[in-house]
Amino acid sequence: MLSFRAFLAELKEELSSPELDLSTLDRLRAKYLGRNGLVNKSFDSISPDEKKAVGPEFNQTKKHIEDLLEDKRLRLLEQSDTAEFFDVTRSGTSFPKGSLHLVTYAVEEITKIFERIGFIRMSYPEVEWEYNDFEALNMPKGHPARDDFETFFVEAEEDPQLGKMILSPHTSSGQIREMLRVKTPPMRMINIAKCYRPNWDVSHVPMFHQFEGFVIDKDINITHLKGTINYFAKEFFGEKREIRLRPYHFQFTEPSFEVDITCGVCGGTGFLSSPSSRGSQKGSHLGENDNKIKCKLCKSGWLELGGSGMIHPNVLRAGSIDPAVYSGWAFGIGVERTFMMKEGLKLDDIRTLYSGDIRFLQQF
Ligand code: PHE
């Protein structure tokens, strides 16, 4: 009894091999359908009577095998076509890639600017003793100046000398730590760290960053402070920006100043140029600026950068430095604010920086 079905099963098995290619297909054709192939040979081997009986099945089997081979051939051709066709105009697959946070970039840039003029980068604890943040900075317990630094208290054991543990509300506590670490001037530090104050609105986040510049040596004076901040402003914001020191008050510096920088939007004029302000208006009683548009960002030509001043003698003493021999200065500036002023990022809500919305971060 002839078993054409067995041939079909065997062929199907062979056609399903993943290694099958066009040349194996030719060999399979010869193996099954060739003059001396399996099908013909088995047909030849039977008697004329049997041939008559299985004739139709023999023809059907040959046709079936032919169809299977042809079908496979077309499919192989199709596949080899797509494999050889390479569309160079198609855009590639972009792989998801990460980047650093904007504030991290800013911290890196600020660090480099100060390292170029010999400052050492430090990061002092974010969870700090009350003493280092206040008492040592000339703000004894109960002093109203402490209220300016609204503070998160940590639930931890109080130290009889150092007081409670707090989340440091400014980087100035690093001044005391640096004096006690280095012991003998000269000292030149840039302390960049996270600070915490319980505020949450469009221009405040409860966790932010400050960078604190700090210098102590013999004969250090205000010109060194101004020169250093000026150098920073030109490096970070560009040659055109100017700074000014405006008298202010901090407990830990004397004299104290607020540092201002010319506004990048109006170029320090406080006004945006408007078409109506061009040309002279003969006979007009209007003042020079009356028909100009006020700059919305600064309103005055200046933007506040941070606080600064000459280190108070009491602070030097708290760090075991003799104020009769040494003098120094310090400044503290907010990283987020500074960065937003540089890029002209018109962020109407500072909280966006920490929203964790990847679509915001991907723009940079
Ligand atoms: N620590 C002050 C603040 O956070 C800034 C400052 C630093 C002022 C150093 C003077 C000197 O507001």
End-to-end CA distance of the chain: 78
Atom of ligand 1 nearest to the CA of 210: 4
Residue 356 pLDDT class (50, 70, 90 cuts): confident
Name every protein residue with a CB atom under 6 angstroms from any ligand 1 atom. Answer: 170, 172, 212, 250, 253, 306-309, 330-332
* CA 153 / ligand 1 centre spacing (Å): 20
- Domain residue spans of the chain: 5-79, 102-126+166-275+291-361
User: How many beta carbons lie within 10 A of that of residue 330, not counting itself?
Assistant: 29
Q: Which span out of 37-41, 54-58, 155-159, 281-285 was modeled with the highest average pLDDT?
A: 155-159
Task: Give the tens place of pLDDT for each residue, 258-308.
Answer: 999 998 888 889 998 755 544 444 445 556 666 788 887 788 899 999 999
pLDDT tens column, 9-37: 899 999 998 888 888 898 999 999 998 88
Does the pLDDT of residue 197 top 50, yes or no?
A: yes
Look at residue 278 in the predicted model and tell me its pLDDT. 47
Residue from 132, 138, 172 to probe ligand 1 pocket by mutation (most atoms less than 8 Å from CB) = 172
83 has pLDDT over 90: no
When the pLDDT of each residue in the chain is averaged and rounded to a whole number, the result is: 89
Query: 201-207: long-range contacts at Cβ-Cβ below 8 A with a sequence spacing of 24 or more?
Result: 202/348, 202/349, 202/350, 202/351, 203/350, 204/350, 205/336, 205/350, 205/351, 205/353, 205/354, 206/152, 207/354
| pTM, full prediction | 0.72
For residues 310-326, average pLDDT: 98
Question: Which atom of ligand 1 has the smallest separation from the CA of 256?
Answer: 10
Q: Can you tell me the mean pLDDT for 207-217?
A: 98
Q: What's the 249 CA to ligand 1 centre distance in angstroms?
A: 10
Q: Which tops the pLDDT comparison, 102 or 110?
A: 110
pLDDT band at 131 (very low <50, low <70, confident <90, very high): very high
More confident residue, 346 or 21: 21
Nearest atom within ligand 1 for CA of residue 306:
5
**What CATH number has the domain spanning 102-126+166-275+291-361?**
3.30.930.10
- Distance from C-alpha of 351 to C-alpha of 208, rounded to nearest angstrom: 10
Which residue, 109, 332, 334, is CA-closest to 236?
109
- Give the position, in ligand 1's atom list, of the atom nearest the Cα of 175: 9
Q: Output the CA 98–ligand 1 centroid distance in Å.
A: 34
Q: Going by CA atoms, what residue is nearest to atom 10 of ligand 1?
A: 308
> 211 C-alpha to center of ligand 1: Å?
10
Say how many Å lie between the CA of residue 308 and the centre of ligand 1: 6
Taking the centre of ligand 1 as the mean of its atom positions, its distance from the CA of residue 17, in whole angstroms, is 76
